Chains A and B, each alone.
Chain A
Amino acid sequence: QEQLVESGGGVVQPGRSLRLSCAASGFTFSSYGMHWVRQAPGKGLEWLAVISHDGSNRDYADSVKGRITISRDNSKDTLFLQMNSLRLEDTAIYYCAKTAALSNWFDPWGQGTLVTVSS
């Protein structure tokens, strides 16, 4: 079955950087656009970024544009999120998700990785 597994979260100081990974299996990774979505503790869902199946197109939420970069390695079935200049308000669970049904809904989601920005 389709599966996504995130890694790379942890505790990081404000201003530092972090790189998240998302390993995909059970589907042809190179055929699908991929997304990152986050959820602050006790809060709702916030879409962050999308990358096309071949990596040629990307788009970002304004709230993080300029501080994050989404990328992928189709040879390794892996999605990445590079986050720079981290702020306290970036503390959240970060989910990767696959584009579903050739439209921009999300299915499946990974289990999430927690990023805590704290001094």
Chain B
Amino acid sequence: DIQMTQSPSSVSASVGDSVTITCRASQDISDWLAWYQQKPGKAPKLLMYYAISLQNWVPSRFRGSGSGTDFTLTISRVQPEDFATYYCQQANSFPLTFGGGTKVEIK
């Protein structure tokens, strides 16, 4: 199974700060990586896929990068609506696996 390791598990930021979340795969997954945003009490929402492709609803301050085993989600100029938990997920092979999540909190 492919293990997905996210870091940090939580990060505190002020509105306007930049936040970077890292996701590492235990083996090469090319660009078969998605990011999800989950707010409390809500289902996750697909944020990004193929590591860098934004869903239509996602503002351009979100950026994904990476391929192979190392990936990054960057939020530039964090806004109040961005405070949530973010998960990475590999879609390279079954079983599909998620990272442990990163909670972005208000400082």
Q: Which residues of A are at the interface with B, using a C-beta cutoff of 8 A?
A: 35, 44-47, 50, 59-62, 95, 100-101, 103-112
Contact = CB atoms under 8 A, between A and B. Distances in A.
A109 B45 contact: yes
Interface in B92-106: 94-101
Interface in B4-52: 32, 34, 36, 42-46, 49-50
Nearest to A60: B95
B89 interface: yes
Contacts of A44: 87, 98-101
Category for how many chain B residues contact A: 20 to 34
Interface string B32-75: 10101000001111100110000100000000000000000000
Contacts of B101: 44-45
Contact of A110 (B1, B43, B46): B43
